[in-house]
A and B are shown apart, each in its own frame.
Chain A
Amino acid sequence: MNSALLAREHGIERPQSLRRAEMTKRMYELELSQFKEVARGHHAPINWIEIDRVEKKYLLSAGADSQIHIYDIEEPVHTKLWKIPSIARVEKKNRQKFGVSSVAWYPFDTGMFISSSFDNTVNVWDTNTMTPACTFDLEEKVFSQAISPIAHHSLVAGASADPRVRLCDLRSGAFTHSLTGHNGSVMAVQWSTRYEHMLVTGGTDCTIRVWDIRKAAACIMSLDQYNTEDADPLSSTNQAHNRPINGLAFSSDGLYLISLGMDEKIRLWDAYTGQNTLVNYGPHLRNRSRTTIKPLIVDNGIWPPLIFIPSDDHQVLAFDMLDGRLVKRLRGSYGRVTSVDKRPGREELYSASKDQEILVWEAPRKDSELIDRRPEAELDAWSSDEDEQDEGY
């Protein structure tokens, strides 16, 4: 690190490369945080967590107990172990009838967030009062929703048990589109982070469909795992996975898309051409439950980029995105992990699981001060008579 600092000082290396090297290193060293833990707020499995991109300090969590909590994850200075408390939650009278399947912050302001619930609705909430401001009834249970992080149109796409993907307009409070094309429930939905009109959905019909919401024939592509040449991009034989798709995530530059199938495969797609990149992530993933899970691509400022995949065997798997190597297993949860999110700008990862707990992962802090006050509990305590014995050998 010091040599890199020196190199930066002398202008041998670009400042960015040092930053990237450090960040990458820290990202690769993630472990259970010694200093932070999230207070237990839910009394049921947590289905979704999301951290806002504006203030980068509010964590939304949605549980199967139809409870939504907001945590302030910005830590106060000089604490030993900080238990992150829940700063807001939904009153009982305002709660939805069934569990909340997913939540999302309004991308430009923390005064509003959107949730989807198994009681067939997509709700828009006022953060300050924690009351629903607007409700869209999708008539089928909603597995997930997504709002474009870059778009000006403020459309919320709802993926439900209904084959149609409904777009809810936050401005008018009404549905603007019904995207038809899927043959079963739609489990996962994501907006492109590069093109504001591009929407990707994955469903139980094993297809991933790419939509351009401006077009009348909205479906422009159905991803094909075999990359069949000269084939119709909308061919009915195209399949992205061999089993239902229940997780989708875009990279931050919008060039890559990863999809999780219940065939326990992870596929990386070129989001521009719709080609399968054929990266082999190995047989590590366990993914058999028919609920939407939230994977994560971390490529901002680190190289090579990592993907974090929640797995059914109580772990978060970290893969090298481009060569498919398993980098790390984040073990510590006691239930199936449902979603992961990274705090923007920090090497902090949050994972939610079915054991009602949100775990904080961060890079180990290497303050000299910390090493000094290394707790006594971490010291070896071999008995003295064994010492003598050892010397005897």
Chain B
Amino acid sequence: MCKKSEAFVEMSVELIFIQLGKKQAQIRYSALQLVEELFSRSHKFRQLIAEEFPQFLQLTIGIHQKSLPPPSNVASKLKEYAVALVKTWYEKYGESYRPLAIGYDYLISSGEANFEGSSLRDIRSRDTQRSQQDVRLKAINERRFQNIETQVADLKDDIQENLKNMESCFEILVPRFEAEQAMDEEKAAAVESSKAPSRGDTYKDDIISHGLGSSRYTIEIDLSEGNVMEDIKESEDNEILFEKLRESYKIMTTKHLTKINEWLKNLVKIEYTDPTAKDDLLKTIISLKDEIRDATRKSTLLGIDTQVENANKQANSDDEDDEDIDALFEEVEVPVLDEPSTSVASDKPSAVIKSKKLTPVQRVFPLAHEPHMAEDATYTSPLQAQIERTGRIRESSPSGNKGKQKADLQREELLKVAPVVEWGEDLYYWDKQDVQFNQSGLGRFLRLIMNRMSTCLLIKICHISIEYHHRFLGDGEGENKLSDETLQALKMRAVYYNPQWPEKIKACRAPLRSGSLCPRRDLVTCPFHGPIIPRDEIGRPVDPKTKLPIVDLGEQETAKVEEEKAKAVFSAVKAAEPALWEQLENDVMRQQGLTPIESTKRGQKRKKEKAPSALIDVKKKADTRLSRLQRRLDDPRMKRIVEETMDHERSMKLRDKKANSWRGI
């Protein structure tokens, strides 16, 4: 463009000077780059720049006590660049353009610029080096990523085969009861139905569907792992199987697990251009890991790991490796999501169904024998048991009277229904209508004395005693009964809440800038990363449902997963929808035949969001101590508090003054 006419050159110089005048070092830097290009091309441009050379130097190097604009790091870069540029210009064009020479002389004599050490070539090479380094890093990352990808592809089949072997071994070893399995499946179905979104049913329906008419008794099916495992002992028959298991277990723990951990570690570090590919890879690796863990658990139950360890010890192989693996295993614990135990049981024969109860949350009344109720202060079951026992003893000992027996029967029935409460003061007052107090008669005695004596002092004392119904000195007229309110109050029970601290607090695990995960352990909210939510290996928040391992589950399970996936998608869509209150408002407006109100505030906000700029915000004030303090002081809440305190103080002072100025009245 500039080549066409000198007018364009003039125009460009004008525009460049406008850009150079901006109070932002980055803009000036880019403008300077433009100047450099044009300067080497056009004579006219050189002339014009030379004419304005003092101003040019002032804007780029900062002569005449004019400092360069912020940000400071770019400003220093700009200055260095400009100085180098002036130097090269001087060498090349100094003779034909006098102002350049004069400017150069001035810079040297005034000492405003240091011409040694910085040459244009240096800066250039530095820039190119940096960009090259970036490119190289990117390439390396890509290579590493692909490396891992191929490794995963290679080893995935191995691992899965190994796992399948183990699984088949397990299946042979562990007996499966058809009936039990059937029951399990049925239960699973039941639980699912209760979990299904049709929340219209009451809990009672649920309970009935579970075959539980009442909430007060339960069916316990105890299939503890222990006794299953006790049944299975290593014998000559299944020796081969055990051998095979041990072998594959060893491979799994020593080779595959370390490999997987390594992959995970590297993958988290690598910044890959395509995040979805990375995510996919991560997912497959994590699911593999989960499977391995499952297998490990099973083999632990069968006692294979100890055997392996023993074998290791015998073979003088180092245990540290194993420990290491264990430690690693602990460290990268993927948040285990609580699946309904029954559904797990359906495909895991060794799994245990401890009790077929609804979770505590779903029940209307907590039951006494429930473990967590035992900790509740208002409901102590051991005591109840004790009381029951004593009651029974009492019942059994005087067993002569028939009427009493009848009453006892009635009582027994009532007792069944009655809640059991710990003995306390409130129970003492439970059935009392009116309670007398201070029947000692000391007051009367005092009154007698008062009648006899007539000293002022005593009169005074008696006066007090009569007035205040003193406990020791006597009481006034009237009945010594507790008032109704007091009685009511006494019937109340004081319950002390003793909070239970969870023994193990989960880490926050939000991804930090350093690449690691947030190690903070807070109860509910991490002060830096908000509420603590389940996160995956690399710290991304996960919907607890979707994070289930997807590979090799039964059909039922896959269907479930799919459903959950759909749910996840739906929730994602929902996030984009307006908030609940807006929906409600819209409904109301529609019913009234009015047009729904546009949420303008949100819309405006969205519009105002500018594209992110590469420029550093210069106007942004630095967050200094002073500004923070100022913000705190300007906070309207703080102001109000201060005002209130001042008011209170003033009123207190006024009151004191009034109280002290009694003499004037």
Seen from chain A, the residues whose Cβ lies within 8 Å of a Cβ on chain B are 32-34, 37, 40, 80-81, 314, 331-334, 355-357, 359, 375, 377-383, 386-387, 390
Contact = CB atoms under 8 A, between A and B. Distances in A.
Contact of A334 (B3, B41, B106): B106
B96 A332 contact: no
Interface residues of B, number: 29
B95 A314 contact: no
Contact of B54 (A81, A332, A390): A332
A40 B105 contact: yes
A359 B53 CA distance: 15
A213 B110 CA distance: 45
B103 interface: yes
Please indicate which of the listed interface residues B53, B54, B103, B105 has the most CB atoms of chain A within 10 Å of its own CB. B54
Contacts of A379: 43
A32 B54 CA distance: 14
Contacts of A375: 95-96
Interface in B351-379: none
A356 B112 CA distance: 14
Contacts of A381: 40-42
Given A381-B42, A390-B3, 19 more contacts: A32-B98, A32-B102, A33-B98, A37-B101, A81-B95, A331-B51, A332-B99, A334-B54, A334-B102, A355-B106, A355-B110, A356-B109, A357-B105, A357-B109, A377-B92, A377-B93, A380-B42, A380-B43, A381-B41
Contact of A332 (B40, B98, B110): B98
B63 interface: yes
A295 to B, nearest CB: 21
Nearest to B9: A380
Nearest to A40: B109
A215 to B, nearest CB: 48
Contact of A383 (B41, B63, B95, B96): B41
B43 A314 contact: no
Contacts of B40: 381
Contacts of B51: 331
Contacts of A81: 95
A382 B110 contact: no
Contacts of A37: 98, 101-102
Interface in B34-89: 40-44, 46, 51-54, 57, 63-64
B96 A378 contact: yes
A80 to B, nearest CB: 8
Contacts of B46: 378
18 contacts: A32-B98, A34-B96, A80-B95, A314-B54, A331-B52, A332-B53, A333-B54, A334-B110, A355-B109, A357-B106, A357-B109, A359-B102, A377-B92, A377-B93, A377-B97, A379-B43, A380-B42, A382-B3
A37 B104 CA distance: 13
Ranked 10 nearest A-B pairs via Cβ: A334-B106, A32-B98, A377-B96, A375-B96, A377-B93, A382-B3, A380-B43, A378-B43, A378-B96, A382-B41
Contacts of A377: 92-93, 95-97
Nearest to A393: B4
A289 to B, nearest CB: 14
A31 to B, nearest CB: 9
A40 B104 CA distance: 13
A381 B110 CA distance: 33
Interface of B: 3-4, 40-44, 46, 51-54, 57, 63-64, 92-93, 95-99, 101-103, 105-106, 109-110
A225 B53 CA distance: 38
B615 to A, nearest CB: 29
Given A377-B96, A378-B96, A379-B43, A332 B102 contact: yes
Nearest to B103: A334
Nearest to A356: B109
A228 B97 CA distance: 51
A42 to B, nearest CB: 10
Contacts of B98: 32-34, 37, 332
Contacts of B95: 80-81, 375, 377
A40 B105 CA distance: 9
Nearest to A81: B95
A331 B43 CA distance: 19
A333 B98 CA distance: 11
B44 to A, nearest CB: 8
Nearest to B42: A380
A32 B105 CA distance: 15
Contacts of B53: 332
A333 B51 CA distance: 11
Contact of A380 (B41, B54, B97): B41
Nearest to A383: B41
A334 B64 contact: yes
Contacts of A378: 43, 46, 96
B63 A334 contact: yes
Contacts of B103: 334
B409 to A, nearest CB: 111
Nearest to A32: B98
Contacts of B57: 334
A386 B110 contact: no
A332 B106 CA distance: 11
A81 B101 CA distance: 12
A346 B305 CA distance: 107
Contacts of A386: 3
Nearest to A80: B95
B514 to A, nearest CB: 46
B86 to A, nearest CB: 13
A378 B41 CA distance: 10
Nearest to B108: A40
A33 to B, nearest CB: 7
B316 to A, nearest CB: 74
A381 B44 CA distance: 11
A338 B533 CA distance: 74
A33 B98 CA distance: 7
B506 to A, nearest CB: 63
Contacts of B43: 378-380
A32 B99 contact: yes
Contacts of A356: 109
Contacts of A383: 41
Nearest to B63: A334
A390 B54 CA distance: 33
